[in-house]
Amino acid sequence: MIKGKVIKYGNNVDTDVIIPARYLNTSDPAELARHCMEDLDPTFVGRVNAGDVMVAGRNFGCGSSREHAPIALKASGISCIIAETFARIFYRNAINIGLPILECPLAAQEISEGDEVSVDVNTGIITNHTTGKVYQGEPFPEFMQQIIKSEGLINYVRERMGQK
C-alpha cells in the first residue's frame, strides 16, 4: 500500500518540464532527480519527500519518449502518480520501470495539494485521508499487472527467456 502527501499540478505536464533536455547527457537517476520539474516548479526538488504522491490533470507526461522523465520522478521520491489521463509513451515507460500510475479523473480533480492519500495499485482504490473520500481508479489489465508483479518489463522478459 502506497501512502503519502500530495503534490499537485495541472494539465499537459510535458516531459520537457519533468526533466529538461539540457540534463539528458546523463542517465544517472540521482542526478536527474536533482533537476526534476525544474522548469515548471523550481521548488519541487526542495520540498518533495520520499513517498509523496503526484496528482495532475489531463495528458500527464506528453511530449518526448524520454524514460528519464519517470526515472527522475521515481528517483526524487514520488511513489505514485494519479492523473485524469496520461500520455501513452509516459504510461508505458512508468509501468516498464515500475513506477505505479493510475488514471482517475474524479480523484485527480478533487484531491488537493498537501492532502494525505493512500493508493492500492492492485485494486485501483484511492483513499483521501484528509477529506475521507474514496475513489475507484482504473485498475491495470492483467497483462500489465504481470509486468508490475515482475517489478518491471526487464524481469518479465528475463522470465520469458527462461533465464531467471
Partner 1 sequence: MGMTMTQKILAAHAGLDKVEAGQLIMADLDLVLGNDVTTPVAIKEFNKIGADGVFDKNKVAIVPDHFTPNKDIKSAQQCRLIREFAHHKEIANYFEIGRMGIEHALIPEQGLAVPGDVIIGADSHTCTYGALGAFSTGVGSTDMAAGMALGKCWFKVPEAIRFNLTGKLQPWVSGKDVILHIIGKIGVDGALYQSMEFGGEGLASLSMDDRFTIANMAIEAGAKNGIFEVDQQTLDYVKEHSTKEYKVYSADEDAVYTRVIDVNLSEIKLTVAFPHQPDNTRTIDQAGDIAIDQVVIGSCTNGRIEDLRAAARVLKGRKVHPRVRTIIFPATQKIYLQAMKEGLLEIFIEAGAAVSTPTCGPCLGGHMGILAKGERAVATTNRNFVGRMGHPESEVYLASPAVAAASAVTGRISSPEEVVL
Distance CA 103, CA 81 (A): 9
**Interface segment toward partner 1; rule CB under 8 A; list 46-54, 92-100, 105-113, 124-132:** 92-100
Distance CA 82, CA 160 (A): 30
Of residues 62 and 80, the one with the C-beta less far from partner 1: 62
**Shortest distance, CB of residue 119 to partner 1, whole angstroms?**
22
141 counts as binding partner 1 under rule CB under 8 A: yes
132 counts as binding partner 1 under rule CB under 8 A: no
Supply angle C-alpha 65, 18, 56, rounded to 5: 100
* Contact with partner 1 (CB under 8 A) among 14, 110, 116, 120: 14
Binders of partner 1: how many residues, by CB under 8 A? 43
Strands, E, within 26-114: which ranges? 53-56, 80-83, 101-103
91, 63 Cβ separation under 8 angstroms? no
**Interface segment toward partner 1; rule CB under 8 A; list 44-52, 72-80, 104-112, 147-155:** 147-155
Grid coordinates representing 51? 513517498
**Shortest distance, CB of residue 5 to partner 1, whole angstroms?**
25
